[in-house]
């Protein structure tokens, strides 16, 4: 397998700050308290911490669902869904090279907020993880709209460029409805 480009230490600091802000924004939007937030139900990983089957070419991130189980329990009723947000460093960095007006912090903020919205919707049974292709496409549109709604009120340098970059997704999904 070829070596994929990954975030350097300075970029990882930016990623961590983006993740923290995305968690706060999504939590606030869904009015979830600290106790309700899903800290133990998901993790965010970059390429260096992913297995080969968790990496992909194309999307900037993907969510993989695993079954978690509390320690010292053998009952299947004690299992829960655990989601891994798999950031695809190589795809993100390639997109930033192709769009030099975009910056890493707001781009990761959008990507992670988007994936966290999916996880909230799965966890609250608003959307099924195992939806049909047609329903997944409709869900992507809803989640992009919610991401834009949440981030529109945030004043961060470079965020307008990211929202502009993602505006093509709205056009793509609108065309799929016809």
Tens-digit pLDDT profile for residues 118-133: 999 988 887 778 787 8
Q: What is the pLDDT along the chain (178 residues), one digit of tens a residue?
A: 567 899 999 999 999 999 999 999 999 999 988 777 766 789 999 999 999 999 998 799 999 999 877 666 666 666 788 999 999 999 999 999 999 999 999 999 999 999 999 999 988 887 778 787 888 888 889 999 999 999 998 999 999 999 999 987 655 544 444 3
- Can you give the residue range of the structural domain that contains 79? 9-177
Q: Is residue 4 part of a domain?
A: no
What is the number of domains present in the chain? 1
Q: Is residue 1 part of a domain?
A: no
Q: What does the alpha-carbon distance between residue 73 and residue 88 come to, in Å, rounded to a whole number?
A: 33
Read off the pTM: 0.88
Q: Is residue 129 part of a domain?
A: yes
Q: Is residue 32 part of a domain?
A: yes
Q: Is residue 2 part of a domain?
A: no
Paired tokens of 116: 């966290």
Paired tokens of 42: 């998901």
Is residue 45 within a helix (H) or strand (E), and if so which, with residue range?
strand 42-45
Residues 171-175: contacts with CB under 8 Å, at least 24 apart: 173/137, 173/140, 173/141, 173/144
Q: Is residue 3 part of a domain?
A: no
């Amino acid at each position: 397998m070829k070596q994929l480009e990954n975030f350097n230490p300075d970029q990882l600091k930016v990623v961590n700050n983006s993740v923290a802000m995305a968690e706060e924004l999504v939590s606030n939007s869904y009015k979830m308290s600290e106790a309700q937030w899903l800290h133990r139900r998901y993790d965010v990983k970059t390429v260096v911490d992913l297995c080969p089957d968790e990496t992909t070419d194309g999307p900037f991130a993907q969510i993989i669902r695993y079954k978690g189980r509390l320690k010292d329990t053998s009952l299947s009723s004690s299992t829960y869904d655990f989601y891994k947000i798999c950031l695809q460093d190589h795809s993100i960095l390639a997109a930033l090279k192709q769009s030099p007006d975009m910056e890493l912090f707001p781009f990761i903020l959008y990507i992670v907020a988007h994936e966290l919205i999916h996880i909230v919707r799965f966890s609250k049974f608003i959307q099924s993880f195992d939806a049909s292709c047609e329903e997944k496409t409709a869900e992507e549109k809803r989640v992009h709209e919610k991401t834009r709604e949440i981030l529109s009120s945030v004043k961060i340098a470079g965020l307008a460029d990211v929202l502009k970059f993602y505006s093509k997704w709205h056009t793509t999904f609108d065309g799929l409805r016809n």
